[in-house]
Each structure stands twice: as structure tokens, then as C-alpha cells.
Structure 1
Amino acid sequence: MLSWYAEHVYVLPWWAYAAALYPLIGLFAMRLARIFGEPDPSAFILGWPLFGLAYLAVWGTVGAGWLLGFRETPPPLPD
């Protein structure tokens, strides 16, 4: 089972997983601003850019990986 996983699933580098956390950080900051009464402008100022940058980082990583060939390709057909 592990050998199948190693052969068929591409493991992203650590920074790709880190980039996926940025939307959660931005949304968490905005949620905290709503929980504590008045919206804190700093939370919104920090939250939305982090969310936008994370969106670009995640899809940029996916797109770059696809363009650079970090995707599973089928084995060549036998002659």
C-alpha cells in the first residue's frame, strides 16, 4: 500500500502546505474581530490581504506545479 502511495501521489514541498494555511489565518483574524464586538480595522486590514495572497499562493503553486510537470503522468503505452 505504501509503495502504491509513493508511486502515485506527488508530495508537495513544505511551503505549499504552509501557503494553504494563510487563508485560515486571514479568516481567523476577521472572525476574532467579529467576536469581540466592534470590528477591529487592523484585523480586516490584515485579514483580507492575507486571504488574497493565500488564494494566489495556493493556486499559483498548483499552476506552477502543473506547468512544471509535477503531476502524475500515465506510463507510456507498450509498443
Structure 2
Amino acid sequence: MTNKYTLDRIDDGFYVFLKRDDESEQLIIPLEEVKVNLNEGDIVEIETNETGYRFEVLKEETSDMKEKVSNLLEKLKNKK
């Protein structure tokens, strides 16, 4: 099964992911089980299988989201 998540934070030896379509749903994975380099805010596709997890960083979606957030912050700054 594959789902999209955003890496919310790294907390006490665990990656904390929030599900893209329902951020109230968290997926917490120990650091040693993640074999890819991840940064907070990355959007990833996570597939669970019998051997653990498979991660795919969705670079284009991450870049698009960071740009949207940056634009929103800029609009908020200009309203002052």
C-alpha cells in the first residue's frame, strides 16, 4: 500500500510523517529504517511491504509546495 506523506519533523530518533490528505494521521518511523536522505517539509511516497518501507521523495511536489508557502509568507509580510 502506498500513501503520500509530508515529513513534519525528526523527533527523538524518529521521523514523524503527516499523511497528505489527512494531517491528523501520523506515521512514525525509526531513523534507522529510512535509507534515503530526507529533510523536514519533504513530500514522500511511502510504500509498506513485508520487508519494511520503500520511500520515494517527490521532488517536484515538494518544490511546488515550498514555493506556495514562500509566496503565502511574502503576501503576509506585504500586508503589514
State the TM bucket, normalised to the shorter chain: 0.3 to 0.5
Considering fraction of residues, name the structure with more strand.
Answer: 2
Task: Choose between structure 1 and 2 for higher RCO, CA contacts under 8 A separated by at least 6 residues.
Answer: 1
Please say which structure displays the higher CA radius of gyration: 1
**TM-score scaled by length of structure 1:** 0.33
Considering fraction of residues, name the structure with more helix.
Answer: 1
**TM-score scaled by length of structure 2:** 0.33
